[in-house]
Structure 1
Amino acid sequence: MCVHGAGVSSREFQPFIAALGPHHDAWTVDLPGFGASAGPRQPLGLRALADALVEWPAAVGLDQVVLLGGSFGCQMAVDAAVRHPDRIAALVLVGPALDPAARGFLRQLLRWMRNAPHERVSMAALDLADHRDAGGRHVAGAFAESLRDRIEDKLPHVVMPTLVVRGAQDRMVPQEWAEEVTRLLPAGRLAVVEKAGHMVPYRQAHSLVRLVTDFLAHTCAAAGAGGGTGPREQRPAP
C-alpha cells in the first residue's frame, strides 16, 4: 500500500504500481484532501493522516499490509507503524523525509532545486496537477507537518522489518541521512538505486520493484522460520 508525499497524490506511484502488479497485490491511496480524495476544509495533521491511512485497509478487510512511503509518506508510514504495529507487517521507506540537518523551509527549497535536474520532466506536470487538486491550504499544511515531525525520534520504535531506499542522485535525502535512518531502525536495511533522484517510484519503477519483491520474499521467509530479518545491508539496484 503506497503512501504519497506532501502536496501530491497517488499519481506519483502509477509506474511502480503497474510494474509491481504482476508480482503482488498493490494499492495506492489519495489521503484526505489530496488527489481524488475529498478532504476536510482544514488540513489534517500528520497524526490524523496516519490514522486515516490505517483505517482504509481495515475498512476493506485487509488484515496486515506493507506500507511503502515516498518522502513525506515515509513520515506518515513510520507514525502509523509506531502507533498501530498490529496493522502493519513491514515498511518500505523511499527517500525518507525529513533530514534533521535541513529542517527549515529555505533549506528544503534549496535541496529541492538541486534535486530537480535528476527527475523526469514529466513529474512537473504531475506536481502541478496535484497541487491544483489539493489547493494551497492543504499543500502548505502538509509541508508544515513534514517540517514539524521528528521522525528520528520514532524510528527506534518501529518493530517491523523495514527497507530504506535512496536514489543515488537524491539531493533531498543525503546518503548520510539514509544511513542514519537505517541505523536507528531496529530491523532496517538500506538499498541505493542508481540513476535516480528523489522520486524513485516514478523514475526507476522496475528497479524498485526488484528491491521490494526481494525484500518481501526474505521477510516472509524469515517470518515463516521464526527468525529475524538478517543483517543490515546496502546494495545498489541495477
Structure 2
Amino acid sequence: MRGWQGHELTRAAGVRFHAALLGDAAAPEVVCVHGLGCSHRYFLPLARRLAPGLRVVAPDLPGFGRTPAGHEVLDVRGLSLALAAWLRATGRAGVPLVANSVGCQVVVDLAAHSPDLLGPVVLNGPTMDPTAPTMARQALRWLAAGRRERPSLPLVLLRDYLDCGPRRLLRTLRAALDDPVGSKLGLVTTPAVVVRGSHDSVVSRGWAAEVARRLPRGRLVEVPGAAHTLNYSAPAELARIVRAIL
C-alpha cells in the first residue's frame, strides 16, 4: 500500500471488496475503475495529482488486486454488477467514475442495469476497438502501446497479472472482446469525456471518436504524445481533464 493513505474493506457481491484511498476524507470523491488484469496500484500517479481537493477511491474488482474471487471468472456484466453492489454498499451512487481500458466497458455496462449509480464519467482508452476483433490482434496492439508507456508500468502490471493469474486474465479478455459495448453507449446519459493518447495503439482515433459520438453527452479529448494508460504515464494531463468535467 506504499503511497496510498489507507484502504477500505466492504462486503459486497459476496466478496470482501478492497479499495485504496488517497486524499482528504471530507473532500468530494472520485472512483477509479481499473482495466484488464490491473488493480488499484496503477492509479497511484493519478491519485497523487487529484488528491489535493479530491478523495480518490480505487476499488479492486473481484478476482483482481486484493479483492478475492472464487473459481468463476466474471464477464463484463458480472464485473459491472459487482461494481454496482459495491457502489450501493458504500453509498457512492452518483460519484464520478474514471475508468481505463476494459474498465470503461464495465462502466458503460453499469448504465445498462443501474443508471442511477452513474455520475460524470471519464473513459480513458475505451476498449474494445472493433478493428482488432481477436485476442491475437489485441495482444499485438498492447505490446506496441507498451513502448510508449512509463518504463516502470510493466513492473506494476506484472504483479497484478500474477495476482489474478493467466486463466482469469485470458478469460476476461475473451469476455471483453465478446461484450457489445457499442450498443450500450447511448445509455450513458451523464456528462462523459472520452480520453485518448495520440500514441495509443490499442484504441484507434476512429474508435475513440465513435465512442464519443454515441455518448449522448460525450466529447473526445486527445492527449498529445501519450499512450494507452494515461492514469499512470500521463497523470497530470488526465487529472486536468477529470477536474474539468467536475
TM-score bin (small chain):
0.7 to 0.9
Q: What do the CA deviations read for 1:42-85 (whole angstroms, capped 9, x no partner)?
A: 21121111011121122122232111110000000000023211
Q: Which residue of 2 aligns with 1:128?
A: 158
Which segments of 5 or more consecutive residues in structure 2 lack a partner in the other structure?
1-30
Q: Which residue of 2 aligns with 1:62?
A: 92
1:48 and 2:78 matched: yes
User: 2 CA distance for matches of 1:44 and 1:151?
Assistant: 16
Question: 1:100, CA displacement in angstroms?
Answer: 0.9
Structure 1 residues 218-233: aligned runs within 5 Å: none
1:32 and 2:62 matched: yes
User: 1 CA distance for matches of 2:241 and 2:75?
Assistant: 31
Question: 1:197, CA displacement in angstroms?
Answer: 0.4
User: 1 CA distance for matches of 2:93 and 2:155?
Assistant: 36
User: 1 CA distance for matches of 2:178 and 2:138?
Assistant: 13
SS of residue in 1 equivalent to 2:147: helix
User: 1 CA distance for matches of 2:49 and 2:204?
Assistant: 27
User: 1 CA distance for matches of 2:183 and 2:79?
Assistant: 19
Q: Which residue of 1 aligns with 2:5?
A: none
SS of residue in 1 equivalent to 2:161: helix
1:214 and 2:244 matched: yes
SS of residue in 2 equivalent to 1:69: strand
Q: Which residue of 2 aligns with 1:233?
A: none
Question: 1:127, CA displacement in angstroms?
Answer: 1.3
1:165 and 2:195 matched: yes
Contact 2:192 2:218 in 1 (8 A): yes
Q: What do the CA deviations read for 1:127-165 (whole angstroms, capped 9, x no partner)?
A: 110111111221112111111111111112211111100
2:178 aligned to 136, 144, 148, which one?
148
Aligned length: 216
Q: Which residue of 1 aligns with 2:140?
A: 110
Question: 1:21, CA displacement in angstroms?
Answer: 1.2
User: 1 CA distance for matches of 2:196 and 2:186?
Assistant: 19
Structure with the larger strand share: 2
User: 1 CA distance for matches of 2:87 and 2:56?
Assistant: 12
Q: What do the CA deviations read for 1:152-191 (whole angstroms, capped 9, x no partner)?
A: 1111221111110001110101111111111111110111
Q: Which residue of 1 aligns with 2:221?
A: 191
CA RMSD of aligned residues (A): 1.1
Structure with the larger helix share: 1
1:22 and 2:48 matched: no
Structure 1 residues 81-120: aligned runs within 5 Å: 81-120=111-150
With structure 1 as the length reference, what TM-score do the two structures score? 0.88
Identity of matched residues, %: 40
1:180 and 2:210 matched: yes
Contact 1:23 1:213 in 2 (8 A): no
SS of residue in 2 equivalent to 1:102: coil
With structure 2 as the length reference, what TM-score do the two structures score? 0.85
